[in-house]
Structure formats: C-alpha cells, structure tokens
Amino acid sequence: MAIVTVPATARRITGLDDVKTFLAGFGIDHEIWPLEDRVDPAAPAEAILAAYAPEIEVLKHKGGFVTADVIDVRPETPNLDTMLAKFSKEHTHSEDEVRFILQGRGVFHVHAPAADGTDTVFAIEVGAGDLISVPVDTRHWFDLCDDRRIRAIRLFQDMSGWTPHYVEEGVHGAYEPLCLGPAWVSGSRGGAT
Ligand SMILES: [Fe+2]
C-alpha cells in the first residue's frame, strides 16, 4: 500500500482513499490490483503479463500504450548503481509512467504545482499491489528502498522503452528517499495525518 509524504509540511498520508484523493489532485492515478490470488509475483515475466492481460488491455486502451514488460531489479543486478542513477535524477517523460509493483518497494518523488499554484514536492512510497500512473511531462524521480529490490510491470507508448528527459537544475538532490516499509503501513498508524 502506498504512503505519501510531503516533506515541506511533514504531512504523511496513508489509507487507500486518502492516498488516492491526494494523488488525484496532481493527476496521478493510484489503484490496488490483486496479487497472490492472481499469480505468483515471482512467476516468469510471460506468466505475469498473461495473468494481468485484462488490466493491461484496459490501460493500453486508455493510455495509448502499445507494449508492456516486467522489470526485475535485485541487489545483484549488474551495473545496478548506474541504472539507479538514471532513475534518481529529476526527469519527465513524453508519455505517462505506469508501473504495477509486484515485489519490493521504492519511492517516487513528484515535483508539481499544487491546486493553489505553489510548487510542491512529495514522495510516494509504493510496494507490492500498487499501480501508479505519473502523467506525461510531470517532473519526478525514483529510488529503491534499502533492500534494492523491485519487480514491476511497465507500460510504454514508445517501443523504444524508458526515455527520460532530465530537468536542468533538478531538485532531487535536496530530498532523501524515505522508506518506511510495509510494517509501517500494516501497523496501527494508518489514516491521514
Ligand atoms: Fe520516470
């Protein structure tokens, strides 16, 4: 379950409805998809894509996506630091960034104008079962949590795959990736704060 943190105000948002409402204010879709009762999240990529074919088809139709894959990142992934360095600098994409998390955890930081026009940075910690869609041209960056593990379905409009457009003088350096972990979410501290 996703957790949102707004560093500037020390605000933390948990609970499906509150997270969904907050993110919708920035045009970000968040859904919870079924996990273990659909397929073993460790199953081969082909089995994962087949198991979620109905949901993927809906997203393709809605967002103009043409292809989906499964990204698998582990601590032992070759050149992991180089790969993570590409994700962790503030950037945009010319299509929505859609990810469904199968295993592991990570943090998207989003840098976007709030409804009142003020510049806002907030973090969305995502874990298994979270689907997130960051809109086209939205400034963001991504870090793994300490276990450096993530497995996720990705959708693309462009067959060439993941293409970042880096933001000059990005603000990513001012924010630490904050991971609270699944225990925090499943504990008794739920609810908007
Ligand atoms: Fe991105």
The beta-strand segments (E) located in 26-176 are 29-32, 67-73, 91-92, 97-104, 106-113, 119-126, 130-134, 139-144, 150-156, 165-166
- What is the whole-number distance in angstroms between the Cα of residue 188 and the centre of ligand 1? 32
Query: Could you list the pLDDT tens digit for every one of the 193 residues in the chain?
Result: 899 999 999 999 999 999 999 999 999 999 999 998 999 999 999 999 999 999 999 999 999 999 999 999 999 999 999 999 999 999 999 999 999 999 999 999 999 988 888 889 999 999 999 999 999 999 999 999 999 999 999 999 987 778 999 999 899 999 998 888 776 665 544 444 4
- What is the whole-number distance in angstroms between the Cα of residue 53 and the centre of ligand 1? 23
Domain ranges for the chain, please list them.
3-11+32-172
Pick the CATH number of 3-11+32-172 from 3.30.1230.10, 3.10.105.10, 2.60.120.10, 3.30.70.1290: 2.60.120.10
- What is the whole-number distance in angstroms between the Cα of residue 40 and the centre of ligand 1? 26
pTM attached to this predicted model = 0.92
